[in-house]
Amino acid sequence: MIVEWILSIGAGIAEWALTLFPKFEPNQVANAAGQVANIGTVVGGMSPWVNWFALGGQVFIVVGLYLTFLTFRILRALLGHIPGIGGNG
């Protein structure tokens, strides 16, 4: 009985939270090209405040380092299977 009461309160809160958002229509997803163009316009308009070239360079460096370390880990694991180099055989 107490669990039902707690679940009803949780369901009420979830229902209230869903009423805060506008109604969803499937056509919004099917015709999202205008919304994507709007996002591109907004992001492009941020260029006076955001140095996209520097941000792109930083992302490139982070992804490059991640791939380098991932390659190192894979090679180390593969070399661990070779007897006499670091394997158990």
**Tell me, what's the pLDDT at 27?**
65
* Helical ranges in the chain per DSSP H: 2-19, 26-30, 33-44, 52-79
Q: Spell out the per-residue pLDDT of the chain, length 89, in tens.
A: 888 888 888 888 888 888 887 776 666 566 667 777 788 788 778 878 888 889 989 999 999 999 999 999 999 888 888 777 766 54
pLDDT of residue 33: 74
Q: What is the pLDDT of residue 81?
A: 81
For the chain, domain boundaries: 2-79
The overall pTM is greater than 0.85:
no
